[in-house]
Structure 1
Amino acid sequence: MESECISPLGNSSGNHLSVQVPLKFPFIIGVAGGTASGKTTVCDKIISQLHDQRVVLVNQDAFYRSLSNEQLEKVHEYNFDHPGSCFLDAFDTELLLSCMKTLRHGRAVSIPNYDFKSHKSTEPSRLVNPSDVIILEGILVLQDFHVRDLMNMKIFVDTDSDLRLARRIQRDTVKRGRNIENVLDQYAKFVKPSFEEFILPSKKHADVIIPRGADNDVAIDLIVQHIRTKLGQHDLCKIYPNIFVIHSTFQIRGMHTLVRDTKTTKHDFVFYADRLIRLVVEHGLGHLPFTEKQIITPTGSVYTGVVFCKRLCGVSVIRSGESMENALRACCKGIKIGKILIHGEGKKGRQLVYEKLPSDIASRHVLLLDPVLASGNSAVKAISVLLGKGVAESNIIFLNLIAAPEGIHAVCQKFPRLKIVTSEIDASLNKDMRVIPGMGEFGDRYFGTG
């Protein structure tokens, strides 16, 4: 997924402060192939396996131009598979491009509803909401370079021509109310020549070719794995290999929805924040070193497992970081937890006000706890305190629920050997240095002091 910067708070008159906010684009997949090649079935299989993501399917067929009464009188002479010199004659590609660009920029759009029996677009149109993944499926979606340029992945479904013809006969006679003679005549006169002249050559633009169409489970599994990898990799993770964002699911997104909602009660905020914190802590513990160990199970069998790192402690940045202590104690029985209080901004910047740390902290791996990484100023100061106590930079794992790009840059550029584990990377900071979209003053909401 790519990103660009927008300025939601600025305007041409310059009356508002401009804040650069990275806009996340969806992962757009183009799926082309001959008529009845199994494109839709391939798309359905991809969608069913991406059950943890918001996925929407857009059919190029929806953008067929409505035929005039004059054209309807000669419908059997009309070629529905022929592109023009610039945009498709059969398809309203200008409208298709407009709709795809709207979705790409995170806005809902109305997609035409084309009726194959009347050869006209009918009401109501279909409202399509922005999604993480957009699949654009159609015979000619790889033929036009304007459409191709929008895609992150291009797929061509390659199926035997005899099988495609058999499927087309069944589809057009059963679902579209056409007689077999007209179907065969149209296939010979328009469909087959257009496939050979326009559709088949577009295969050269494909990143992935799927032989045997929807029957090729191995190819579909590989495609889904690639999409998951791309979706799970934030742009900042490509810059800083020491950032780890836990895999997003609908459960995690649902919890984020609740803790971010200004209408959520304190009780629910604490409940779902605690669930998210536990997930982050568990993920953070997975980055600790381990040693292998063989043990004997109650059945007398040998099991090869691992032993956790024992030299470990937590350090919470007062006061929001204290909300993460219970989850850490629940995962690590008897763990020592230290405290750091950072305060002030102004000319002197962030200053250490208070610290109470284990006396042997220099020999331990440290889980630094702070639910929100905003500007990074407090984090940088807290990490500097730990380094001053002799803690190795590579032994620090910084755990938070949300992180702003500005904070990530500040921490990772100064401390490239520590690890940051978070559940979501937010858009940016506003003029008040608050994370947006954010979740407000975390400490006040969690402890009920707002």
Structure 2
Amino acid sequence: MGSESVDEVLYPAAAAGVHLSALRLDGLNRIQGSASSEEQPTTSGMEKGHQEPFVIGVAGGASSGKSTVCKMIIDQLRDQRVVVVTQESFYYGLTDEELVHVHDYNFDHPDAFNTELFLSCIQNLKRGKAVDIPEYNFKTYKSVPDARKVNPSDVIILEGILVFHDSRLRDLMNMKIFVDTDVDVRLTRRIRRDTIDKGRDIKTVLDQYSKFVKPAFEDFIVPTKKYADIIIPRGGDNNVAIDLIVQHIRTKFGQHDLCKIHPNLYVIQTTYQIRGMHTIIRDAATATHDFIFYADRLIRLVVEHGLGHLPFQEKQVITPTGSVYTGVEFSKRLCGVSVIRSGESMENALRACCKGIKIGKILIHREGDNQQQLIYQNLPKDIANRHVLLLDPILGTGNSAVQAISLLLKKGVQEANIIFLNLISAPKGVHMVSKRFPRVKIVTSEIEFGLNDDFRVIPGMGKFGDRYFGTDD
């Protein structure tokens, strides 16, 4: 199926029949949440310093189930503000001459839509401005301008057969979904819809389908499938696929809300590759060697992101061609500190990124939620003069992290010089560390739901150290 192949994607959704093609979710950290509905009025304070909405494009052939998919997403996001803007609203009204030959008019051609107006409306919504959307009457074939007012929302869903056709529209989308449904099913649905809802006779519907709809699908719609991030077979009948999509969106909402509260929290940009690696290492059935392999890959990403927060200065070098290249040079006064023993799993990735880096160690005995006791420390003697990357793959209650950071401060390390790296973080731990040490940067790859009664992170990934070093049961 071309670009929708899942061979290169780790996200194990094949059982759901959902294909995750490209790894483009560029802006998933920019989601926020509130109430839902297609035309729900929203509070307007977004124009000044607003948070950009999360834009989802839903494309596919006529009667493939696009509207059903949109409705299912909205139904599951009832606690968010969601608005749907359909491409059909932007059909050009037919002229008197075109009305005479209406049965020869191709409604499935890109030129049938007022794409410039469509684009302008979505751009304004992204800027936090309310817009007036036209309405198309399929019985009179006329467009009624400014028929519906749409307010800014947290999630904007663009639905239509050709919403992926124009690159400018695609560039506005954070997630692109293609609804793929069997051709016979689509034809049956189209006959039922056009005869009942649009008052057309069956012969006219079939003639239009063979003359325009089918060729346009092959010429204009199918080629846009390659731009999809997610391909959903069976459309609205694929409940598992919808659940996976909504779960991913909800995860991003939670991360964004926490990042708004704590500006020192940094969640690395999510892709389905990252979600796939998380799925593997969170699976209790994953073998030790696979756990280590994919954990190492994730740790490397977190370390690289953390290094990006180090101070730097401009530096010029001479290239082999004799040219001058102006670049940057990062701080050389750097060390790592791992919290034994899980934190030691992150040392190899740090060494791979920073040749010859010094790494200290801290051992904290954990007993329940509150009983934390410092057992051992071995830190570089000049640590007070260094930037410190604190390594611990899981931030749970935050008690161990607070004790480790407190020790670093006692050793003379500046609070702003500490970057705390972990794979997953529970909100409670983020709150505790940020409240005590607001200048410490926290870099993580995912935010968890919370803690269970045993103070374990959920959904979590178990006892990380035991699984990584092969000492679990």
TM-score range, shorter chain: 0.5 to 0.7
- 2:369–2:455 contact (8 Å) kept in structure 1: no
1:221/1:100 Cα in 2 relative to 1: closer, same or farther (>3 Å)? closer
The answer for the alignment partner of 1:295 in structure 2 is: 317
Residue 352 of structure 1, CA deviation: 1.0
The answer for the alignment partner of 2:77 in structure 1 is: 104
Q: Which has the larger radius of gyration?
A: 1
Q: Does 1:385 align with 2:334?
A: no
Q: How does 1:182-331 map to 2 (within 5 A)?
A: 190-192=139-141, 195-196=143-144, 200-205=146-151, 217-218=167-168, 220-224=170-174, 231=252, 234-331=256-353
Which of 94, 103, 109 aligns to 1:162? It is 94
Supply the distance in 2 between the matched residues of 1:334 and 1:392 (Cα, whole angstroms). 23
Q: 1:420 is aligned with what amino acid?
A: I
1:372/1:296 Cα in 2 relative to 1: closer, same or farther (>3 Å)? same
Supply the distance in 2 between the matched residues of 1:347 and 1:173 (Cα, whole angstroms). 61
Residue 152 of structure 1, CA deviation: 3.1
- CA offsets per residue over residues 308-346 of structure 1, 9 Å max, x none? 210000000000000000110111111000000111446
- 2:299–2:423 contact (8 Å) kept in structure 1: yes
1:60/1:433 Cα in 2 relative to 1: closer, same or farther (>3 Å)? farther
1:391/1:99 Cα in 2 relative to 1: closer, same or farther (>3 Å)? same
Secondary structure at the aligned position of 2:286 is classed as: coil
- 2:368–2:454 contact (8 Å) kept in structure 1: no
The answer for the alignment partner of 1:402 in structure 2 is: 424
Q: 1:331 is aligned with what amino acid?
A: C
The answer for the alignment partner of 2:438 in structure 1 is: 416
1:209/1:169 Cα in 2 relative to 1: closer, same or farther (>3 Å)? farther
Supply the distance in 2 between the matched residues of 1:439 and 1:209 (Cα, whole angstroms). 33
Residue 251 of structure 1, CA deviation: 1.2
Cα root mean square deviation, aligned: 4.3
Residue 254 of structure 1, CA deviation: 0.9
Residue 221 of structure 1, CA deviation: 2.1
Residue 25 of structure 1, CA deviation: 7.4
Supply the distance in 2 between the matched residues of 1:348 and 1:428 (Cα, whole angstroms). 17
- 1:203–1:209 contact (8 Å) kept in structure 2: no
Percent identity, aligned pairs only, is 56
- 1:316–1:337 contact (8 Å) kept in structure 2: yes
Secondary structure at the aligned position of 1:340 is classed as: strand
Q: How does 1:105-184 map to 2 (within 5 A)?
A: 151-155=81-85, 157=87, 158-162=90-94, 170=105
Residue 351 of structure 1, CA deviation: 1.7
1:220/1:339 Cα in 2 relative to 1: closer, same or farther (>3 Å)? same
The answer for the alignment partner of 1:69 in structure 2 is: none
Q: 1:218 is aligned with what amino acid?
A: R
1:347/1:333 Cα in 2 relative to 1: closer, same or farther (>3 Å)? closer
- 2:59–2:164 contact (8 Å) kept in structure 1: no
1:269/1:155 Cα in 2 relative to 1: closer, same or farther (>3 Å)? same
Residue 390 of structure 1, CA deviation: 0.6
Residue 250 of structure 1, CA deviation: 1.5
- CA offsets per residue over residues 365-415 of structure 1, 9 Å max, x none? 000000000110100000000011010000000000111111101111111
- CA offsets per residue over residues 154-195 of structure 1, 9 Å max, x none? 546545323997998545799xxxxxxxxxxxx9883446x5
Q: How does 1:435-446 map to 2 (within 5 A)?
A: 435-446=457-468
Q: Could you list the runs of 5+ residues in structure 1 that have no partner in the other structure? A: 1-23, 32-46, 65-90, 106-148, 175-186
Secondary structure at the aligned position of 1:190 is classed as: coil
Secondary structure at the aligned position of 1:247 is classed as: coil
Secondary structure at the aligned position of 2:406 is classed as: helix
- 1:155–1:206 contact (8 Å) kept in structure 2: no
Residue 289 of structure 1, CA deviation: 0.5
- 1:314–1:368 contact (8 Å) kept in structure 2: yes
- 2:34–2:81 contact (8 Å) kept in structure 1: no
- 2:94–2:141 contact (8 Å) kept in structure 1: no
Q: 1:415 is aligned with what amino acid?
A: F
Q: Across the two proteins, how many residue pairs are aligned to each other?
A: 318
1:323/1:213 Cα in 2 relative to 1: closer, same or farther (>3 Å)? closer
- CA offsets per residue over residues 47-106 of structure 1, 9 Å max, x none? 9x98xxxx7669997899xxxxxxxxxxxxxxxxxxxxxxxxxx9xxx99984555337x
- 2:93–2:141 contact (8 Å) kept in structure 1: no
1:161/1:400 Cα in 2 relative to 1: closer, same or farther (>3 Å)? same
Q: 1:104 is aligned with what amino acid?
A: L
Supply the distance in 2 between the matched residues of 1:58 and 1:328 (Cα, whole angstroms). 45
The answer for the alignment partner of 1:343 in structure 2 is: 365
Q: Identify which of structures 1 and 2 has the higher relative contact order when contacts are C-alpha pairs closer than 8 Å and 6+ apart.
A: 2
1:303/1:59 Cα in 2 relative to 1: closer, same or farther (>3 Å)? same
Q: 2:139 is aligned with what amino acid?
A: F
1:205/1:406 Cα in 2 relative to 1: closer, same or farther (>3 Å)? closer
Q: Could you list the runs of 5+ residues in structure 2 that have no partner in the other structure? A: 1-31, 40-53, 110-135, 176-228, 230-248
Supply the distance in 2 between the matched residues of 1:291 and 1:357 (Cα, whole angstroms). 27
Residue 222 of structure 1, CA deviation: 3.5
The answer for the alignment partner of 1:13 in structure 2 is: none
Supply the distance in 1 between the matched residues of 2:278 and 2:292 (Cα, whole angstroms). 12
Secondary structure at the aligned position of 2:356 is classed as: coil
- 1:29–1:153 contact (8 Å) kept in structure 2: yes
Which of 371, 393, 396 aligns to 1:371? It is 393
1:354/1:214 Cα in 2 relative to 1: closer, same or farther (>3 Å)? closer
